[in-house]
Amino acid sequence: MSDGSSFYITTPIFYVNDVPHIGHAYTEVASDVLARWHRQAGDPTWFLTGTDEHGQKILRTATANGVTPKEWADRLVETAWQPLLQTIDISNDDFIRTTDARHEVNVQLFLQRLFDAGYIYTGDYEGAYCVGCEEYKQPGDLIDGTGPYEGQQVCAIHSIPVELLQERNYFFRMSDFTQPLLDLYESNPDFIQPESVRNEIIAFVKRGLTDLSISRQSFDWGVKVPWDDSHVVYVWFDALLNYITAAGYGYDDEKFARLWPATHIVGKDIARFHAVIWPAMLMAAGIEVPKQVFGHGWLLVGGEKMSKSKLTGIAPNQITDTFGSDAFRYYFMSAINFGQDGSFSWEDLSARYQAELANGFGNLASRVVAMVTRYFDGVIPDPGESEAADERVRTIERRVVDDADAAIERLAIHEALSSIWELVDELNGYITAQEPWALAKKPELLDRLQTVLFTAVRGVGTLAVLLSPVIPEATGTLWQALGGVGEITDVPLRTAYHWETDGKVWPLEPLFPRIENIEGSGGPAARE
């Protein structure tokens, strides 16, 4: 298996029964920021995302739209899910579809190996099934319905009635793995994070695991069970395997050994599948368990989890068309503590855009470039003798780089940005205190002016490198204005302060133009 030096990160694969909303985009951006950071830090990095295209939910949606499930999946992937990646500037290395041959064939290979090893048997099952979750529900997972569903039991997540199903299926001996999973959680406390999700999973497993129904006979849209084609594989058992089928399992042993195990970024509502069923499957197959499962919180709009069915779904382009992809990425990574629930509002987005991006970072960059242009004809000056204020900036530069990298290692993206913003605030305060515009009026203080602007340019360049994984478009533009040597993504992040310039700055348009606001939930009007 992997020697631990690679960073293989995945998002969940998303159902193609509908178009993406900002909850999906939030997961994509978080995973992308982590991938970009590690990639730019020089770590061998692989970033996987994709779509989940089998199961009863997809079949019903396709049928309701008068097309085959494959036609529906192809349409949604082409018109919605892959365009999402461009909309929010995602740098994935691979895109897996569960209808890919490389996936379906190796799902069957995996299943056959478990069957041959005695981990799969036949049995009858009756239970309450949520098509939205594609999961049999326990009584504790159900709540009393309201409105049109009053008097019925509904899924606590989807708020739709469950269906009573009775089938003769194949079962996976998941109960065999109750203790091995508890041993895993104890020996590796970081396997499930954050702590709230870890505690919930441990409590669930301690109650004892039951065997898992892993096939369906009532419909035929899915991967055929290899020894019995009257059954299709349960959609979650199929979907979870994407993380290894995309990494070469069954057809590229070298690639699989190089990439696996992975870090899985998922919503907390599906953490149980990833932290219980998935490692049990891998243990049964003799494959190393994932490196980590991180269950982030929900995006809330009006106090409710983001959902198309509840009319709280906001399309990512409703934000990016006005604010741009960088602002979208920055806002969701900075405004929400990664791992906790977070609330979205247009007012908060607009306020943070103006205060932190436009005034805080964007104005800092513009001022520094403009002063070098005005006072030194665009040539970055050599520094004179340093003073305490200059040394303080350089000290903070180095500390911020280390602190941000350490936060990323903990998957604490919001903490990394908070650290980086210490340098933004320090540089803004430094320029205010040093008053280069006043120094420029006194020829005898030329050396001091040179030192101040040199220090400011170096700090802004370090910020550009550090923020490149989060706001790649703006930092790429700033990099060109600073005369950065090579591509900004080639500058090693862990020594960001060693970036190089060709010695001259170039004109810089506002990185984050001012936006007019409209009161209410409709969002802002337009950029100026």
Give the number of other Cβ atoms within 10 Å of residue 227's Cβ: 13
Burial status of residue 192 (CB atoms within 10 A of its CB: 0-12, 13-18, 19 or more): buried
- In eight-state DSSP terms, residue 147 is G
54 noted as active-site residue: no
38 noted as active-site residue: no
Query: Is 231 part of any known ligand binding site?
Result: no
Q: Which residues have CB under 8 Å from 480's CB, separation 6+?
A: 506
206 noted as active-site residue: no
Residues 378-406 as b or e (16 or more Cβ within 10 Å = b): bebbebbeeeeebeebeebbeebbebbbe
Of 158, 224, 255, 504, catalytic: 158
Of 24, 54, 231, 268, catalytic: 24
133 noted as active-site residue: yes
Q: Which residues have CB under 8 Å from 345's CB, separation 6+?
A: 301
Query: Is 158 part of any known ligand binding site?
Result: yes
Query: Is 274 part of any known ligand binding site?
Result: no
Q: Which residues have CB under 8 Å from 54's CB, separation 6+?
A: 69, 98, 99, 221, 222, 223, 232, 233, 235, 238, 239
Query: Is 133 part of any known ligand binding site?
Result: yes
Angle, nearest 10°, between helix axes 278-285 and 178-187? 100
498 noted as active-site residue: no
Of 38, 133, 264, 274, catalytic: 133
Of 155, 274, 296, 414, catalytic: 155
- In eight-state DSSP terms, residue 181 is H
Distances, alpha carbon 149 to alpha carbons 143, 144, 145, 160, 475, in Å = 11, 8, 5, 7, 50
Of 38, 130, 264, 268, catalytic: 130
Catalytic residues: 21, 24, 130, 133, 155, 158, 305, 308
Residues in the annotated binding site for Zn(2+): 130, 133, 155, 158
